[in-house]
């Protein structure tokens, strides 16, 4: 299981990276454009935060230009994984990049057919956009993950199945349904330690200890 943060904001990434359970960072062109910073400098800053994978996306469309951009991104830092559009040009680029030894993630997948195509092409990761589907499709999103998982397993496809989620419920359902990894925005990550029962219990522990011992340090006795 791997957990990724969907963000291109260095401050958010530093905060979550300190927890010690962050495996990497994903981002997309819309997020990068909204940040409105130098793309390469921001990528370099993110890569320097921790020893983790950083997923960066190409924006070109023909396969040859996708591959060209992908090689330039991969040259920025060895931990960069290149996100490639899931379409006919994208799968051609994925095959080219696989031969060149560049890791790829087929992105914005919304169907089993697309997941089959990118798995066959040899993508290292397949990012299924559960978040959007959960808002516009009446079908259970966990079934999509489970179906792709079954196909990948039956045919020994090594592509890592990633669920891009927008809620805590989608995160849990996706991992329970067979996703290898998830990516979630900062707001969802902040929910990891916001359970009211857990917070109340810890506050009770701390309060009871303070009533008995005050501010004394139990290690030193002072």
Q: Which of 2, 41, 71, 83 is catalytic?
A: 83
* Two tokens, residue 76: 């920025």
Answer whether 144's CB lies under 8 Å from 134's CB: no
Q: Which residues pair with 81 in a beta bridge?
A: 55
Answer whether 116's CB lies under 8 Å from 95's CB: no
Q: Cα(212)–Cα(210) distance, rounded to whole angstroms?
A: 5
Answer whether 81's CB lies under 8 Å from 105's CB: yes
Q: Cα(222)–Cα(208) distance, rounded to whole angstroms?
A: 18
> Is residue 83 annotated as part of the catalytic site, yes or no?
yes
CA 25 from chain centre, in angstroms, equals: 6
Q: What is the DSSP letter of 111?
A: S
- Which residues form the catalytic set? 83
């Amino acid at each position: 299981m791997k957990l990724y943060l969907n963000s291109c904001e260095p401050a958010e990434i530093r905060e979550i990276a300190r927890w010690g359970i962050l495996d990497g960072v994903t981002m997309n062109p819309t997020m990068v454009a909204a940040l409105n910073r130098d793309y390469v400098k921001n990528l370099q800053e993110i890569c320097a935060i921790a020893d983790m994978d950083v997923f960066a996306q190409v924006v070109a469309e023909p396969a040859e230009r996708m591959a060209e951009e992908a090689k330039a991104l991969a040259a920025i830092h060895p931990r960069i994984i290149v996100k490639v559009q899931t379409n006919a040009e994208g799968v051609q680029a994925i095959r080219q990049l696989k031969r060149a030894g560049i890791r790829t993630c087929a992105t914005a997948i919304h169907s089993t057919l697309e997941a089959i195509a990118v798995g066959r092409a040899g993508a290292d990761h397949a990012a299924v956009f559960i978040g959007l589907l959960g808002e516009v499709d009446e079908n259970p999103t966990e079934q999509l993950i489970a179906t792709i998982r079954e196909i990948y397993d039956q045919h020994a496809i090594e592509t890592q199945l990633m669920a891009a989620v927008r809620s805590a419920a989608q995160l849990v359902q996706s991992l329970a349904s067979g996703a290898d990894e998830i990516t979630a925005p900062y707001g969802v990550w902040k929910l990891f330690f916001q359970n009211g029962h857990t917070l109340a219990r810890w506050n009770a522990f701390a309060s009871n200890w303070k009533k008995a011992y005050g501010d004394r340090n139990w290690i030193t006795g002072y």
